[in-house]
Chain A
Amino acid sequence: MKLWDLARTANRNLFRAKLRTFLTVMAIFVGAFTLVMTNGVGDGLRDYVEMQVKTFEGERILFVRKKLPAELEEQANSSGPVEYKEATEDGEGNLIDPNSVVVSLEQIEGLKDKRPDVRSITPACRVNPEYISVQGGKKYQVGIGMLSEGVEQKLEAGKMFDGSDQIILPIHLARAYDENVGNLVGKTATLAYRVGNDRELRSRDLTIAGVATRGMISNLNAFVDTETAKAIYTEQNGDTPNFNYFNNFTIQLERADSELLESTKERLDKLGFVGLGIADIEKRTYDAIGILQVGLNVFALVALLAASFGIINTLVIAVMERTKEIGLQKALGMGRFKVFLLFSIESVLIGFWGAMLGIVSAIGIGSAANAFLSATYLESFEGFSLFAFRPLALGAVLLLVCAIAFVAGVMPAIRASRLDPIEALRYE
């Protein structure tokens, strides 16, 4: 029998026992539906987090911090607390503090001299602002982040810095001044901050270069360019003992090259630093979602496993019911393998229809739920769809369910294929 004829016959056989087929398909449907939904939640979260996290770009950028001593570094990477170690003095009277993660400007600049493929190294200058005001309007609290050269923030309006004394506003803040945030680009923002022990209030006028898109960090912070950050940092910390000691810094490489990025990370590791690319930082977040997603999917897979026993049951009964028919087919020269295929195809078809139904319903219900939720409970999570359905994931579900169905069909199909035609024709 040709494959097409087998498939047609298998499909017809399924329709012969409509109710039984329907019930088995329903069991598979429930499993497939659950799998699509749980996977959809995972992808929905992933999309949302991606939207939140992926607001920075910079393939040439490494965020670097000093490594703790090996033992402490290990503790820092695990979930436990990090032990405190007493500082010691080296032979020359320098204090060696194993707990400290700060790095001196000297040491940072020293790294650059040795590397021709490093374009710039920028220490992360922390700025403590008092308030911000646009065009002399209402004053707001704000956090300030520094964007090193080579780091791109995704923008709703305007463009990245093209000089110093510039600022990028978070979208919430920008909207407070003008609903049409594009109007703010090129206008002046006044950033106020306090300096020294007497907390003298100073301010600096900055040009609004752009407005950041929504994101986990860009929702909270306004961003200034390196020069501006350095200037304010110097004003605020110039006379303190921790001036020019930094928690971290960014390295900008000469070119965007993943090999160079990796080799630089390795070199940093040898020098006692931890360097992470933007992709590394994102990956950590995605890994966490991945684990969540796998956890959810396990539940759906259990449902599918249960349903696969339904398939086995259905096919075992079908083989019994159709023993004579199989006997006839074998007597008329149908080979074992074709009989095996006939039942396997029936099994896969049950899986296929169940999966198709599951996928279609999941998309329908998921989309309706998205619309409902984003208008109600998830209103504050702008741009968050609880369920995201990716064609590739849906295809994978379809294939997986068909594969599970195939495996479930193996035992009954082998039974059918091994029937002796004479015995089968006599079967009552």
Chain B
Amino acid sequence: MLETSELRRTFTSDAVDYEVLKGIDLRIERGESVAIVGKSGSGKSTLMHLLACLDRPTSGRISFEGRDYLSLSEKERDRLRNEKFGFVFQQFFLNGRDTVYENVVLPMRIRGAADKDLRPKAMSALESVGLGDKHAKRAKDLSGGEKQRVCIARALVGGPDVIFADEPTGNLDSKTSRTIEDLMLTLNRDKGITVVIVTHDEDLAAKCGRTINLKDGMVVDELGEDDEAGEAGEQI
């Protein structure tokens, strides 16, 4: 579903070029849960930004369901992110003064959805993260774990094919982290939503179906435990 070939990204700062991604070839299939791991500076966030159509590669190709990002206009890129992708960030980016409900419906408002269509979608997204009863609360009054669950609901509300999560547990204690991890992987399993998680949390990475390990802008090894197990199972 998501495919890259020879993907490179170079940043220029003070006339010095930094090649952050040095030719990445990847395929992520529908329904996978993928962790992108690596040390800071390894290029994992950059890779996610490119996959999520937030950034443009210096060279190489990326496509989503066969649609090459390079061929998309800015409007089409905006629409792709809005309709097909959901986002979860380490720092939540919730509007604290707004209600949980308003925060969750933001992608739908951006899409231009009618008011009457918002409520059922928002409520069902909130139910999925177990916050159905908190829709009227101010976002700033929630705990960290609850905030991240609101973010997941926000990522979920538009019915995305892929949820991109950038260090979703980075700001949470370990117990809350586990809840969030489980929640995301449940969504992956039950709703068939592809999940791409950038993390340096090994526990989280281990729970994902596949781990893409980046080092200095290159994929060093891909561990696909589930896949290997599956293949092994078939072989027997």
Contacts and interface: CB of A to CB of B under 8 A. Distances in A.
Interface of A: 1-2, 5, 9, 12, 16, 324-325, 327-336, 338, 421-422, 425
Nearest to B92: A328
B146 interface: no
A422 B74 contact: no
Interface of B: 49, 52, 54-55, 74-75, 78-83, 87, 89, 91, 93, 95, 97-98, 106-107, 109-112
A333 B93 contact: no
Contact of B93 (A1, A325, A335): A325
Which of A327, A332, A421, A422 has the most C-beta atoms of chain B within 10 angstroms of its own C-beta? A332
A325 B55 contact: no
Contacts, number: 55
Contacts of B83: 333
Given A1-B110, A327-B93, 11 more contacts: A2-B109, A5-B112, A12-B98, A325-B95, A332-B82, A333-B83, A333-B110, A335-B75, A422-B49, A422-B54, A422-B55
Interface of A is mostly: helix
A45 to B, nearest CB: 50
A334 B54 contact: no
B65 to A, nearest CB: 17
Contacts of B98: 12
A47 B228 CA distance: 92
B107 A332 contact: yes
A333 B78 contact: yes
Contacts of A332: 81-82, 87, 106-107, 110
A414 to B, nearest CB: 15
B64 to A, nearest CB: 14
Which of A1, A331, A334, A336 has the most C-beta atoms of chain B within 10 angstroms of its own C-beta? A331
A421 B48 CA distance: 13
B54 A331 contact: yes
Contacts of A12: 98
A328 B93 contact: yes
A1 B112 contact: yes
11 contacts: A1-B112, A328-B106, A331-B52, A331-B54, A332-B81, A333-B78, A333-B83, A336-B74, A421-B54, A422-B54, A425-B89
